[in-house]
Chains A and B, each alone.
Chain A
């Protein structure tokens, strides 16, 4: 049981490049999330999904896109990388149950845009 798996662990992008951060979970969770965490700051929600085919914006969605074609996968796409997107990105998943829904996080992707 791998939990939530993110790839890559590290990446350096040049301004204007694009990339996809991969996230997959094997716990059959309906809810999945993408957060970013800037140095010394809290987690900010980028996008979330309540199930396959359904996505919605979080606090800071600009510059990102997501898709949820399957329950397991929730990739995050950066189309035109900017220095402001330098951050650590965490993918997470949780059960549907609202009263017992802790988040399970992946190990994170450290992205630097130069």
Chain B
């Protein structure tokens, strides 16, 4: 069974940094693209970033480009999201999501429960 377990969320001041982690199990990590999707309180879903199975291809939403970096550690079966220069509008639950192929297509078939990031002074 596929499991995605996010961690690393918390409270941070504007301008600060956080690194989110997502430990995966139940599938061959390198065979699937991964994504981060966030949901602000009471709001809808917003795709944040994606990475191919090999890790060679990454993509970002305009709202986070230049501030966030997605990466994956194959030896640890872990996905990361390094978030810098955080803003109040980055406050959200961040979900780790598995893709349906090694090439990042945007389709997401299994979601983690998420980790909460709060950016406030």
Asked if A pairs with B, the answer is no
Chain B residues within 8 Å of A, Cβ to Cβ:
none
